[in-house]
Amino acid sequence: MTHALETQALDSLAARGSGHPEWIWRDGALVPWEQATVHVNAVGHASVAAVFEGIKAYLAADGHRLLAFRLDDHLRRLFDSARLCRLDLPGSVDDLREAILTLLRANACRTDTYIRPWAFPRGVIREQMVPAGTRCEIVVDSWPFHSHLLTPRGCRAAVSSWIRVSDASMPPRAKTFSNYHNGRLAMMEARENGHDWPILLNERHKVSEGPGACVALVRDGTVVTPSLTSGLLAGLTRDSVCALTRDLGLALEEREVDRSELYLADELFFMGTAWEILPITTIDGRRVGDGTMGPVTTRLEREYAAIVRGRSERHPEWLTEIPLDPG
Ligand SMILES: Cc1ncc(COP(=O)(O)O)c(C=O)c1O
């Protein structure tokens, strides 16, 4: 299956193209979608330092609730990103959680919903270097998405010639829009060479991550994923998959990973909020396993899918319940 994630993005766009949500949350209040505008002068400067999150709320299997996955962890990471970028976010994690719940209720979200909070310097800033401590405004957008969990899928990955931005230059630990230029360059290279997604190495030439997801391999039943000091975003899906690996009694190694280990892996997969758990079926044109989702990936995916839909007893602390209005 090619470009599974592109398809997902297009699905989301199509869903939005037929109409946008009524409300958007902006700086403390619900605002009608059309009125949530900024002055054109603000855009360029704002985007340099802006930080954001991508969160998913899944419709529970019983159809009565949305379940936001690791909501508070995402919000804490947003505040961490702002701290690293020296931005001053108004309010607290509690405030932002409430804002998100208010928004989802106002938009009468009744289906799988992607939630994007982002924060950028307030107003028109005439300095190119946004000063430390600049007051930000926070916006939260949301739109429907289509989950690919529990469907046959896979992607072709390639090791990129682009090196992941380093903690010594632009910390990948911060989820800031400007870091995505690095992943975009790698993604275009991968596509031009007939693959779907790149895997970037870090400045030590060890495996770091994909442009929008962390990566793991399975060898002889052990799940191996680059350590958090390998030049990556501390992915919450990665963290969840590590916990599930332990729950299932499988061996887990979080450490530096060599490029050559990718070629010897029995299974390889990406993991991230948007990409969920996405098997990699070829790496640099070499087949991984038998070219389909491997047994360990399948077990992890099933557990993950059961949790996000509220069908599992495991990790209730990962879910924030949002009851749906019966109407
Ligand atoms: C660069 C990058 N790495 C990893 C991830 C995975 O993080 P998470 O699982 O928290 O979504 C993302 C997703 O946003 C990402 O953009």
Which has the higher per-residue pLDDT, 196 or 6?
Answer: 196
Report residue 131's pLDDT band, with 50, 70 and 90 as the boundaries: confident
Which residues share a beta bridge with 144?
113
Check whether 1 has a pLDDT greater than 60: no
For residue 168, give both structure tokens: 């010594």
Active site residues per annotation: 175
* Ligand 1 pocket test target in 114, 214, 318 with most atoms within 8 Å of CB: 214
Cα–Cα distance for residue pair 171/153, rounded to 1 Å: 32
Pocket test for ligand 1, best of 273, 276, 278 (most atoms within 8 A of CB): 273
**Paired strand residues for 115:** 55, 142
b/e map 223-246, b = 16+ CB within 10 Å: bbbbeeebbbbebbbbbbbbbbbe
If you ran DSSP here, which 8-state letter would residue 5 be given?
H
* Count of C-beta atoms within a 10 Å radius of residue 129: 9
- The CA distance from 315 to 296, in Å, is 19
pLDDT above 80 (res 13):
no
Average pLDDT, the chain: 92
Distance CA 259, CA 125 (A): 43
Report, as an integer, the average pLDDT of 136-140.
93
233 Cβ inside 6 Å of ligand 1: yes
Q: What percent of the chain has pLDDT over 70?
A: 93
Sequence letter at residue 126: R
The stretch 157-161 carries a mean pLDDT of 98
pLDDT in tens, 253-279: 999 999 999 999 999 999 999 999 999
| Model confidence pLDDT, tens digit, residues 84-99 | 999 999 999 999 999 9
CA 112 to ligand 1 centroid distance, Å? 19
From the list 193, 239, 196, the residue with the least C-alpha distance to 216 is 239
**Residue 169 amino acid letter:** S
d(CA 34, CA 24): 9
Q: Lowest mean pLDDT of 124-133, 227-236, 264-273, name the range.
A: 124-133
pLDDT for 16:
56
Full set of structural domains in the chain with CATH: 4-144 (3.30.470.10), 155-308 (3.20.10.10)
Ligand 1 atom nearest residue 239's Cα: 9
Beta strand 155-163 pairing with 197-201: parallel
Nearest CA to 228 out of 80, 116, 118 is that of 80
DSSP labels, 57-75: EEEPTTSSEEEEETHHHHH
What would the pLDDT profile of 164-187 be if each residue is shown by its tens digit? 999 999 999 999 999 999 999 999
